[in-house]
Structure 1
Amino acid sequence: MIKEWATVVSWQGGEAVLSCDVKASCSSCASRAGCGTRVLNKLGPQTTHYITVPSEKPLTPGQKVELGIAESSLLGSALLVYMSPLAGLFIMAAVFQALFGSDIAAACGAALGGVGGFLLARGFSPTLSSRESWQPVILSVGLPPDILRVETPSSESR
């Protein structure tokens, strides 16, 4: 199970809207000064993702929840997204090379196969994402933000 913390934006009728912050993958590495991935992460937008998750328990805005998703669903979706365009690229490049016998035809076939594989993955993704085992679930719920309050003695009351 892959776990991540999210913040409740709203809860209504058994559905919780949660916000998940995008985390840069390279903030604590020892070689971060010379890392190209860190530079690319700085260029991209730092956005917040919103997700709707069923929750029978009432939640308050600002409350933290721990989300979990099965490793198999993450691996399956990554396999679909990355391997279908790659397989289409190689298969169509080989077919066009065999049919037309030129490198230009193979390059065109590779481009068509890559785009076709991407469209195939895009077409299958709604079907696969509707599976219940591929949906994130709430594993644990933190305290509401207004429950815990820490008071420190002020310097005037001494």
Structure 2
Amino acid sequence: MVEERGVAVAVESGAIWVETRRQSSCGQCSAKAMCGQELLNKLGRTQNCNLVRALNDYPVRVGDTVTIAIPEQVIIKGALLVYLVPLLLMLFALVLCEWLQLSEGWVMLGSLAGLLGGFGVVALRSRMLQGSGAVQPRVVHVGLMSTGP
């Protein structure tokens, strides 16, 4: 389980909204000169809070410190879906166009169509899983009432 601590900012039936603080180790990283996160920080992205909706079965009040978690396999499967499916469909379309002995321009267009089709598959699958509790963060621990910011 990948866990993150945060503060409950809103409570609704069966779920809560949790504000988490983004942890940054940019100051210690040796690759910060070429990192996209460091570039975003330099461009004025100073807000380091995230709002996350998490499923909840515990009695939680606004201001409580909570720990939310999501299984590692959800993150791994999501990464494979987002990165691998479009790439594989693009390569499949490329091989198919080459096998059909199409001209180079059609091979490039076919590859682009495969890539866009892969993005479509990812979007469709994301919409299907959006309401599923299996892929949403869940509250696993409730701490004491927080005393300040």
Measured against the shorter chain, the TM-score band is 0.7 to 0.9
C-alpha separation in 2, matches of 1:44 and 1:95: 46
C-alpha separation in 1, matches of 2:11 and 2:126: 27
SS in 2 for 1:142: strand
Q: 1:53 — aligned with what?
A: 54
C-alpha separation in 2, matches of 1:12 and 1:75: 29
Q: Deviations over 1:112-145 (max 9, x none)?
A: 1111000011101232344433221112112112
**Structure 2: which 5+ runs fail to align?**
none
TM-score normalised by structure 2 residue count: 0.80
Aligned length: 146
C-alpha separation in 2, matches of 1:68 and 1:106: 44
C-alpha separation in 2, matches of 1:35 and 1:100: 41
**Structure 1: which 5+ runs fail to align?**
149-158
% identical aligned pairs? 26
Q: 1:113 — aligned with what?
A: 114
TM-fit CA distance, 1:38 = 4.5
TM-fit CA distance, 1:33 = 5.2
Q: Which amino acid aligns with 1:79?
A: L
| Structure exhibiting the larger radius of gyration computed from Cα positions | 1
The structure that is strand-richer by fraction is 2
C-alpha separation in 1, matches of 2:39 and 2:25: 11
TM-score normalised by structure 1 residue count: 0.76
Task: Verify: 1:93 aligned to 2:62, yes or no.
Answer: no
SS in 1 for 2:144: coil
Q: 1:17 — aligned with what?
A: 17
TM-fit CA distance, 1:107 = 1.1
Q: Deviations over 1:9-32 (max 9, x none)?
A: 111334211123444463432x15
Task: Verify: 1:66 aligned to 2:67, yes or no.
Answer: yes
Q: Deviations over 1:26-81 (max 9, x none)?
A: 3432x155343444342485564333223233323232211111111111111111
SS in 2 for 1:60: coil
TM-fit CA distance, 1:82 = 0.8
The answer to whether the 8 Å contact 1:10/1:59 transfers is no
Q: 1:6 — aligned with what?
A: 6
TM-fit CA distance, 1:85 = 0.7
RMSD of aligned alpha carbons: 2.6
Q: Which amino acid aligns with 2:58?
A: K
